[in-house]
Structure 1
Amino acid sequence: MESCGMNVIKYILFFFNLIFAISGIGIIAAGALVLSDVGDFNHFLESRIIAPPVVLIFAGCIVFFIAFLGCYGAIKENYTMLIVFAGALVIIFTIELAVGITAAVFKTDFSNGMKGTLKSTMMNYTEADKVAWDNVQRKLECCGVDGPEDWETAKVIESGTLPTSCCEMTDTNSKCIMNGGIKVHTKGCYEELEMRVRNGATILIGVGIGIAFVEIAGVVLACCLASAIKREGDK
């Protein structure tokens, strides 16, 4: 015979897992949003900056699956499945907390590394670097690391000119020249990239740590219901 308290815990846990399944979709969406925002510029970003959103997407997929496991275990009052569910939640909690902490760490220490990468690719300026620079300068409407003057310092293109992606032009055969009558992007790309990555880190920190602590409630509920089921079975 089920106790009233056990019934309450069971249905609370069931509805918790429905919400938890929706949160899994939210985690996937947040990771995908950040990845799409900074992934286009991965030529200039370290792999550790790209890794957190990828891990978050993976964690979101697991959360979605685990939520259904929790729902089934609660309705069927299956002790083993509830313990497995609680254990899985602890693992996911650890992963998401790690993602949040990692995002917080790279938010504060990536700046010098990114600026160094931007400057080195400008000095080397291989074909891959050229494509990457054109991509970032067009999409972010920026020019150079700190400004257009960086291209003159780098001396990798014709003196007095800038990459065509530094200018707002429709004719790609025209030259992009400072004070040449064509609008030149004056903002540096480092500042724009830094803002993109920092905004992405803020999203990851909020989602990763925020949902991770909500999962503690799921662990407590699952353990309470599992304990109640075991007591009922021992009677």
Structure 2
Amino acid sequence: MIDFAKMKTCELSLIKYLLFGFNLVFAISGIVIIIVGALTLSEVGQFQHFMEGRILAPPVVLIVVGAIVFLVASLGCYGAIRESYYMLIAFAACLLVVFIIELAVGITAAVYHNEIDQSMKNVMDESLARYEKSDMDKNAWDKVQSELQCCGVSSPNDWNKTKRPLSCCEAPREGAPPPTEEGCNSAKVDESNILFSSGCFEKIKMKAENASRVLIGVGIGIALIEVIGILLACWMALSIKNRS
């Protein structure tokens, strides 16, 4: 004769350890999310002078989500060990909320992608026009042009109304004379003054897009883990309820 009570106990034990193991992995993934978000923010944030809050928001949200994931995973581990029906339901509900937040952030980023690009370009145009009047804009432009080896917003021609800064040029090899203002603002390109030909907007945009791809990849991976967690938690909660 089949012992259904014993089968239910075995089923509950199996789900319990599955869920506990899952939450350990989930807690580690929360730490990974925080690290990825922080690295992405560090990578893109160094050019925050030219970016609106909307561009920097996704990595910040990811860091917050990572912290929440770690706390929720701890709740799931405790609920699984205690075999608490209400804690498991709370765990599943928290995972669902986090999943919805991630989905909303992803959809918003996709919808406003082109608008954000145009907004960043406008900010850069306005900042370039203030180069000689504002130390903050001057330092920001010198930094971005030197680090990304670019010049102007779209091209070096953006500096037509303003004298081109030395950060637009580089000495091509060791021992060559440093660039001069005359050489950097000359149409002539020679061995001592090499003008960066690429615009900075495309280079910053490329960095932001690369960061977005990393965030999207991590977000999709975590979303799949969250769905599995919700299913396991609901399964265990149902098993506990049936046993009771």
Query: What TM-score does the superposition give when structure 2 sets the normalisation length?
Result: 0.86
Per the alignment, residue 34 of structure 1 pairs with: 40
Per the alignment, residue 91 of structure 1 pairs with: 97
Q: The residue matched to 2:195 in structure 1 has which SS?
A: coil
In structure 2, which of residues 163, 166, 173 is the aligned counterpart of residue 164 of structure 1? 166
Q: Shift in Å at residue 110 of structure 1?
A: 2.0
Distance 1:206 1:107 in 2: 17
Is the contact made by 1:18 and 1:71 (CA closer than 8 Å) also made in structure 2? Answer: yes
Distance 2:37 2:216 in 1: 11
Q: Shift in Å at residue 225 of structure 1?
A: 0.7
Is the contact made by 1:96 and 1:209 (CA closer than 8 Å) also made in structure 2? Answer: no
Is the contact made by 1:103 and 1:205 (CA closer than 8 Å) also made in structure 2? Answer: no
Tell me whether 1:131 sits opposite 2:142 in the alignment: no
Q: Shift in Å at residue 45 of structure 1?
A: 0.8
CA RMSD of aligned residues (A): 2.0
Tell me whether 1:100 sits opposite 2:106 in the alignment: yes
Gap change, CA 1:50 and 1:193, over 3 Å in 2: same
Distance 2:77 2:94 in 1: 14
What one-letter code is carried by the residue in structure 2 that aligns with 1:207?
Answer: V
What one-letter code is carried by the residue in structure 1 that aligns with 2:70?
Answer: F
Q: The residue matched to 2:48 in structure 1 has which SS?
A: coil
- After TM superposition, where is structure 1 displaced by more than 6 Å over at least 4 residues in a row? 170-173
What one-letter code is carried by the residue in structure 2 that aligns with 1:84?
Answer: A
What one-letter code is carried by the residue in structure 2 that aligns with 1:87?
Answer: A
Tell me whether 1:184 sits opposite 2:226 in the alignment: no
Per the alignment, residue 227 of structure 1 pairs with: 238
Is the contact made by 2:85 and 2:237 (CA closer than 8 Å) also made in structure 1? Answer: yes
Q: Matched residue pairs, number?
A: 227
Distance 1:171 1:231 in 2: 82
Question: Per-residue CA shift, 1:93-125, capped at 9, x if unaligned?
Answer: 112222222333343432222211111111132
Is the contact made by 1:103 and 1:201 (CA closer than 8 Å) also made in structure 2? Answer: no
Is the contact made by 1:99 and 1:208 (CA closer than 8 Å) also made in structure 2? Answer: no
Q: Shift in Å at residue 21 of structure 1?
A: 1.0
Gap change, CA 1:211 and 1:59, over 3 Å in 2: same
Distance 2:178 2:96 in 1: 55
Question: Per-residue CA shift, 1:33-64, capped at 9, x if unaligned?
Answer: 22111101111111101011101101101101
Gap change, CA 1:63 and 1:220, over 3 Å in 2: same
Per the alignment, residue 73 of structure 1 pairs with: 79
* Larger of the two Rg values belongs to structure: 2
Q: The residue matched to 1:143 in structure 2 has which SS?
A: coil
What one-letter code is carried by the residue in structure 1 that aligns with 2:138?
Answer: K
What one-letter code is carried by the residue in structure 1 that aligns with 2:226?
Answer: E
Is the contact made by 2:34 and 2:64 (CA closer than 8 Å) also made in structure 1? Answer: yes
Distance 1:73 1:14 in 2: 9
Gap change, CA 1:198 and 1:173, over 3 Å in 2: closer
| Structure 2 unaligned residues grouped into runs of 5+ | 1-5
Q: Shift in Å at residue 172 of structure 1?
A: 7.5
